[in-house]
Amino acid sequence: MYVHPGVLHKLRDSATLVRSGRDAAVEAGVPVDLGDHDMYVRASEIAALIAEVRARETFTEANVHLHVVDDDQWPFEPIQRFASLWVAWLDLEDRQDRAASTLLDRLGGRARA
């Protein structure tokens, strides 16, 4: 999805989304730059979310990658705002994002803050 940068804060501040990818890495102190955003959303909330931030589907300008999960399969705790670092790594690796290597180094214990 593409979301105008001026409204990305609505996604980052949302209590209904779980942030992953680079956002989760930065939150854990891994030295990666913020870039595209990976976020998990419940299937029942996707339509309202897209309407609220006026997101549009795109394959060339995407800055938000929404992972839609069926409500009855939601794997996150109610107060959880960031995915585990292993999930964040999988999201980055799946998109072949170069930050995946940096995060994997941290997960493997080769790099320390």
Considering the domain boundaries, does residue 112 fall inside one? no
Give a yes or no: residue 48 inside a domain: yes
38, with CB counted inside 10 A (0-12, 13-18, 19+), is: buried
Residue 96 falls inside a structural domain: yes
pLDDT tens figures, 7-41: 988 988 888 899 998 898 888 888 777 878 899 99
* Backbone φ, ψ for residue 57 (5° rounding): -70, 140
Q: Does residue 82 lie in a domain region?
A: yes
Phi, psi of 69 (to 5 degrees): -120, 135
Confidence at residue 68, expressed as pLDDT on a 0 to 100 scale: 95
Mean predicted confidence (pLDDT) in 37-65: 90
pLDDT of residue 112: 47
Mean pLDDT over the full length of the chain: 87
Structural domain includes residue 76: yes
Percent with pLDDT over 90 in the chain:
38
Instruction: Kindly tell me if the per-residue pLDDT of 81 is higher than 90.
Output: yes
Neighbours of 35 (CB within 10 A): 13
- Domain hosting 98: range is 5-107
49, 64 contact by CB (below 8 A): no
The number of distinct structural domains making up the chain is: 1
